[in-house]
Copies of this chain bind each other. A is one copy, B any other.
Amino acid sequence: MIPNNTSSSANYDADSSSVGESVAPSLAPTFSPLYQQIKGLITQSLQSGEWKPGELIPSEMELATRFKVSQGTVRKAIDELSAENLVVRRQGKGTFVATHHEAKSQFRFLRLVPDNGERNHPENRILEVKRVRAPAEVARRLEMKSGETVVFIKRVQSFGGVPTILEELWLPGVIFKGLTMERLNEYKGPMYALFESEFGTHMIRAEEELRAVNADQDIAQSLGIEVGQALLSVERISFTYGDKAVELRRGLYLTNAHHYRNELS
């Protein structure tokens, strides 16, 4: 799987199989650097569940031995995985699979922060949980066949007793089998931590589309605001390993005392 490095130094040998990406109509060999291939192999192990979220992965030296490359090459592979938040390095201890069960990553996907003061965990009120056939639009964005089952969730999140987020979620039914309102209500903590522990699905990345919308009567009632009030609409698609879409959600954020924070670089 990994190229043979007989001689002492660097080798870009156009050798056998270079852990190719997909099939593709050939004629474009697309060699990738060794460390990229190693990165791919490590990612596969993460995806397959060989090392689970929170667990320690083998040391750089062990991996170097396993893959028959130098430690520096493994290091560069892990550097990138660390930059992508797939793993977390801890000096003196080792490298761990990233998990949503940690204080640090609690707010990683929640960009709404209070205008003044400290971030608090929102209080959760689940309004509805049901299984339905995926509407065309939902199916398309989750890359499912239209008509497949999805879990639909509707909830309100409050800060200090003030209803602030009205949110609807769609999750592939196949993955989230035993998800009930009870399960959601009894669970304290971030939803992604629940998804990770109970359904083996770890979110690694998301794309959001933001718009400003006016509250209609239903929405106004749910959030206890006036009809027409401007709300921040946040549509999110979340991805797990292999860039597989596994969650679609649409949130309506009340931004009277909060704002959505973003860093551009």
Q: Is the CB of A262 within 8 A of B210?
A: yes
Q: Is the CB of A230 within 8 A of B206?
A: no
Q: Is the CB of B232 within 8 A of A214?
A: no
Copies in the complex: 2
Is the CB of A132 closer than 8 A to any CB of chain B? no
Contact flag A206-B263 (CB < 8 Å), given A230-B213, A230-B230: yes
Q: Is the CB of B263 within 8 A of A205?
A: yes
Interface centre among A108, A208, A260, A261 (most CB of B within 10 A): A260
Contact flag A265-B230 (CB < 8 Å), given A210-B260, A212-B213, A255-B212: no
Is the CB of A264 closer than 8 A to any CB of chain B? yes
What is the minimal beta-carbon distance from A83 to any residue of chain B, in angstroms? 8
What is the minimal beta-carbon distance from A207 to any residue of chain B, in angstroms? 6
Residue of B nearest to A234 (CB): B262
Is the CB of A85 closer than 8 A to any CB of chain B? yes
The one of B111, B207, B259 in contact with A211, judged by C-beta atoms closer than 8 angstroms, is: B259
Q: Is the CB of A261 within 8 A of B207?
A: yes
Is the CB of A50 closer than 8 A to any CB of chain B? no
Q: Can you pick out 27 interface pairs between chain A and chain B where the beta carbons lie within 8 Å of each other? A: A85-B265, A109-B264, A111-B264, A204-B265, A205-B263, A206-B264, A206-B265, A207-B261, A207-B262, A207-B263, A208-B261, A209-B261, A210-B255, A210-B260, A210-B261, A210-B262, A211-B232, A211-B255, A211-B259, A212-B212, A212-B232, A212-B233, A213-B230, A214-B214, A214-B230, A232-B232, A262-B262
Residues of A within 8 A of B (CB): 83-85, 108-109, 111, 204-214, 228-233, 236, 253, 255, 259-265
